[in-house]
Every structure is written in C-alpha cells, then in structure tokens.
Amino acid sequence: MTRTERSPSLSGEEARSQLYSLLHRSIPSKKAIDEVIEIGANYLGVNHGHITEIDEDENRWEVIGSTDAPEGPYPAGLTSKLSDSYCRRTIHQSTPLALHDAGNQGRADDHAYQLHQLDTYLGIRIQVFGEPYGTVCFVGSEPRESSFSEAEQFFIELAGEVLQKRLEGAHHEKDLTNRDRLISVLNRILRHNLRNDLNVVQGTARLLEERTSGETAQLASTIDSTTAELLSVAEKARELETLTRSVPVARPIDIVPKVEDAVRDVRERHHSVDISLSVPDRAMSFADSQLSDAVSELLTNAAEHAGEDPTIAVEVNRGTDRTTIEIRDDGPGLPSGERRVLTGATETALDHGSGIGLVLVYWILTNLDGEIEVPPTSSGTTVELQLQQAASIAPE
C-alpha cells in the first residue's frame, strides 16, 4: 500500500447504501457534502477526496468540501486556477474521468500532471439546475495497481447525483429564506415607515380640506383619497405576508356561510352596489375561512372598478366533483394584466390597489388546491372560483 492510499473500509454495496441514505436524511448540506467524500475515500481507498465549485469565466477552482485538514494539500477553501487541474476536463464531460496511472496513460505532458504529480484521479462533474457547478473527485499522488472498476465509476456517478440533489435543495432553501426575508423587509417598510408617513399626509390633507375651499379643497380631497388607496395597498400587503407564512389546510366545510359573510361585508361598505346572491342550502367543499377574504376581495374589486352603480351577481353551484362560486358584474371588463394575475399566467406590474388584492385571491385559491377561471364574456366580467367538492357530513 502506497503512502497516499488508505485501506478500503467499505464494500461497494455499503458505500452505495450510505449514499442513498443521504438523500433522505435531514442534515445540513455541508455535513452531507463532507459525508459524501468521506464515504468515497473509505470505499476507494484514497486519502484525498474533495468537492469543488468552478467558475470557468474566471478560471477559478475552489474546494468547498474536503477530507483534508486545513494543513493538508487540498483543504476546504483552497482556490486555484481551473487550468491547473484535471477538473478543467471533468467539467466538460458527462462520464467520469478515471486515471489510475496518469503518467503512463498519456498524461505526462498534461500541465495539471506536471504541476501536481497526481497519478490517481477519479472525478465527475456536478450539475445544479442543469448547469455545470463543479466536480467531486478522489485523488492520489501514487498510481493504483489496477484501473477503476465499473462499480467504482458507478459509485462516483451516484455521488455526483446525490450532491446535485443536496446542492439544489440547499439553493432552493436559501432562495426561499432570502425571499422570506425580502417579504418581511418590504412589509415592514409598508406597515411602519410608509404607513406612518402616509397617515401624516392624509391628516394634513384633511385639515387643508376643512380650512380651505374651492380648488384647494378639491386638491386636498384628491390627496386624501389617493392616500387612502395607498394605505389600503399596505394593508393588503400585510395580509399577503400573513397568507404566505401560514398556509391554510383545506378541509370539508360548508362554504355557503363564507360566501354569505363576504357578500354582507361588501354590501355594508358599498351601499350603492346591487349584489344578488343565489346559493344552495349547503355546499360542502374543501376550503378554509380565508375563502371569505377571496370572495370579498373580488366583490370589492367589482364594486370599485365596474363603473357607476354596478350590478353584481353571486352564485354557488354544485357540480359532479367541484363547487363553483361564480361572480359576475356588468362593468367594462377585467384588464388583461389583472386577468393574468388571477389565473397565475404570469407576474405583471400592478398599477393600482386592486392588483395586489387579486394576488391575494390567487394565493388563497392556490393554497386551497382550488382553481380560478375567467371565461370570456361579451360584456362585464365573470370570475369562477372552483373548489373540490366534499361529501356532506350529515344528510341534507
């Protein structure tokens, strides 16, 4: 046994079994990375295993996980030129690069060989979300007695797949964490900084409106109403943040009272709006109390943007396997941008308060495993909220 070898302490079956277990164990990504290379070193009988992150544009090669101690030849945190390593080749091929006696395998003139004198190398590239990320490799300065077997090359392929899934999971978790932090910061700004300032603006506008007349009073009234709309946006942003943090669990409930509550709420706030309601005695569906907020938001949007004295019709219909809440108005129609927001077709810029409210509707229905349809109509707007129907708890 040469000085760069360690005695293999794992069989191929044991090594593969330990790799598979890493896909299901709830451990930090850094620990999973360290375990992959330790398993590989114990199975392959080499002293040096490391995982790299590669930036080809910057010709940069960095060790992000290693079996070596800080004083070893390839410790975590080591950076060098990609062009100085075998990994410059590994990153461009989908199959393992396997060298058991590099000096006698046509690599004697290779710059990486001349620089590091590594006769043993088994590595494969790691892809993250379909893009080359880096490599996992096991190296030694002495040649092996025999070439790497098919089982050993299969192991390195499996190691690359395990690392891909762990790194993608880590990136996804980090992305969610960053989004969560961004949402918190933006909503804190909306709730406190901006809201406090808007309250001052609104209070000042109302004082001006009371103490002046004519054009000045009208301007003050415009400032007051516009400020009220912006404060409403801030409040809806707070509701959206709450919704993203506490996803409701859809359960069998009678949605008729929820729809009735929403209609009653909007009637009380918009006395000039004519809202008709047609519901069955009960409609058991998979939903949550937040359904009332979704229906109320759609009714409010219609009441405020469907023209003078709009007429709104609300119907609850039970189908074979779905319950549909249909909301129709006689207004000018839903703009295409807001239609996309409701149906989740794409993200788009929102130019007034109703937009963020429609995002709220979309999130509620999505969390309840429901669907939203906006069928084409010759006039007005029709929105359908579709929920999974549930069996009645008691005979009707």
Domain containing 69 — which CATH number? Answer: 3.30.450.40
> For residue 206, is it within any domain?
no
Q: What is the band of 151 on the pLDDT scale with cuts at 50, 70, 90? A: very high
Say if residue 6's pLDDT is above 80: no
**Which among 171, 170, 226 is positioned nearest to 22, based on CA atoms?**
170
Q: Helices H, strands E: what count in the chain? A: 11, 13
Amino acid at 136: V
Same domain? 256 vs 386 = yes
Of the chain, the end-to-end C-alpha distance in Å amounts to: 81
Q: Domain for residue 225, yes or no?
A: no
Residue, of 334 and 83, whose pLDDT is higher:
83
Are 101 and 113 in contact by the 8 Å Cβ rule? The answer is no
User: Both 270 and 158 in a single domain?
Assistant: no
pLDDT at 394 over 60: no
Q: What is the pLDDT averaged over residues 84-91?
A: 95
Place of tokens 């080499």: 46
Q: How far apart are CA 396 and CA 394, in angstroms?
A: 6
Assigned domain for 107 exists: yes
pTM of the model: 0.52
**Are residue 262 and residue 134 in the same domain, yes or no?**
no
pLDDT digits (tens, 9 = 90+) for 277-321: 999 999 999 998 889 989 998 998 888 877 777 899 999 999 888
Q: Are residues 261 and 148 in the same domain?
A: no
| Residue 117 placed within a domain | yes
In-domain check, residue 198 = no
> Is residue 220 in some structural domain?
no
Full residue range of the structural domain in which residue 37 is found: 12-171
CATH of the domain at 389: 3.30.565.10
* Inside any domain, residue 335: yes
Q: Give the C-alpha separation, 33 to 120, whole Å.
A: 21
Same domain, 266 and 388: yes
Cα 296 from chain centroid (whole Å): 27
Question: How far apart, in whole angstroms, are the C-alpha atoms of residue 330 and residue 325?
Answer: 17
Task: Say if residue 283 is in the same domain as residue 386.
Answer: yes
Examine the domain organization and report whether 125 and 272 are in the same domain: no
Write out pLDDT tens, residues 184-239: 666 666 666 777 788 888 889 899 888 888 898 889 889 988 888 777 777 766 66
Does residue 224 fall inside a structural domain? no
Percent over 90 (pLDDT), the chain: 48
* Domain-terminating residue out of 125, 154, 171: 171
Total number of domains constituting the chain: 2
